[in-house]
Amino acid sequence: MTGKAEGAAGAEIVTPDLEGCALNTTARIVLLNGVGSAGKGSIARALQTITTEPFLHVEMDAFMAMLPEAYHDHPDAFTYETVLDDGNPQVVIETGPVGARTLCGMRHAVAAMAGQGNNLIVDDVMLGGTAAEYADLLADFEVFWVGVYAPLDVLEARERQRGDRLNGLARWQYDRVHKDMNYDLEIDTSIATPLECAERIKDKFQL
C-alpha cells in the first residue's frame, strides 16, 4: 500500500507501494556486447529514442564509475598494464575482488531491474563467464543478444579520438569479447550510424 508522511517544512512524502514489487517477467532486454569504443553507448541512446515502450540504458561504465577514485587503477579493483603487441600498445586488464564484485553486482542489478518490469538496454564488455551468468540470471526474460563490431583499426582510431580511454584497450579486448558468443544479431558500426544500428535492432526484435 502507498503511505504518506510529513517531510521538511510540512511537505507530504508519498512512499511507494512495496507490496507491489513482486517479480514481473514481462521485461525485454537488449544485451549489447562489444569492445570499448565499438559504439554501444551511442546505439543504446539512439535506440531509446525510437522504441515503442521506454527502455532504460544500463552501462558498465556507470558501475565502474561508482568506485572511489583511488580504486580506478588499484589491484583490488582493476589494473591496467600497457605491453607491446607487434610494436602496438595493448592494455592488459586484471580484475581484483572489489572489481569482480562490482561487475557481479551490475549483472544482479540488471536482473533486479528487469524483475520489476523495466525494459533494458545493457551496454557491457563481456569477458570470461559474464555471458553465462547473464544467461542464468535472465533465464525468465526475453533477451536479445547483439554483437557490436568494428575493425580493429577503426576501434583504435576512435580510442585515440575519444581521449577518455587508454590506447591499447581495444586491442586487448578485440579477440576476447566475442569469443564463443552466439548472437541474435550482429552489427558493424564502421558501416552504419548509431541510429541505423538502432533501427536494425528495433526492426529485428519488434521493439
φ, ψ at 77 (rounded to 5°): -115, -85
Which helix or strand (DSSP H or E) is residue 145 part of? Answer: strand 142-149
Residue pLDDT tens, the chain, 207 long: 455 555 556 666 665 555 567 777 789 999 999 998 899 999 999 999 999 999 999 999 899 999 999 998 899 998 888 888 888 888 888 999 999 999 999 999 999 999 999 999 999 999 988 999 999 999 999 999 999 999 999 998 888 888 677 788 888 888 899 999 999 999 999 999 999 999 999 999 999
**Domains within the chain, CATH numbers bracketed:** 22-205 (3.40.50.300)
Exposed/middle/buried for 199, CB within 10 Å: 0-12, 13-18, 19+? middle
Place of cell 579520438: 161
Give the integer Cα–Cα distance in Å for 120 and 142: 11
Model confidence, pTM = 0.85
Q: Which residues are catalytic?
A: 61
